[in-house]
Amino acid sequence: MNESSNFYLNESGPKYGSGVDLEFPDWSGHLPAVPRMPKDKWLTFCQSNLARLRTFPGYDQRRRENGIPVEFHL
C-alpha cells in the first residue's frame, strides 16, 4: 500500500480537507417546500405528455441509446 492508502485506513486522520472546521448555516427558520400542484395532478400531467413526447423524431432511437440493454424478469 502507498502512503495515500494508509491515510484512508487511518481513522484518526482528518476526513475532509486539511482538518479545517466547517461552518454550516442555520436552517432552523427554513420554510418547507410546498408543491405547486398535488402529486396525482402532476402524474396525470406527465402521463398526458408522454404521448406527445413519443411523437418527436428520433424518440425511439434516443430511448434505446440511453436505456439499459438488459431486460429483467422478476
pLDDT tens-place string over residues 41-68: 999 999 999 889 889 898 888 877 877 7
Query: What is the pLDDT at residue 12?
Result: 58
Q: How confident is the model at residue 18 (pLDDT cuts 50, 70, 90)?
A: low
Q: How confident is the model at residue 29 (pLDDT cuts 50, 70, 90)?
A: confident
Look at phi and psi of residue 56 and say left if phi exceeds 0, alpha if psi is from -120 to 50, else beta. Answer: beta
Report the SS3 class of residue 48.
Answer: helix
Looking at residue 56, the DSSP 8-state letter turns out to be S
Q: Exposure string (b/e) for 58-69, b if CB count within 10 Å is 16 or more?
A: eeeeeeeeeeee
Q: Are 48 and 42 in contact (CB under 8 A)?
A: no
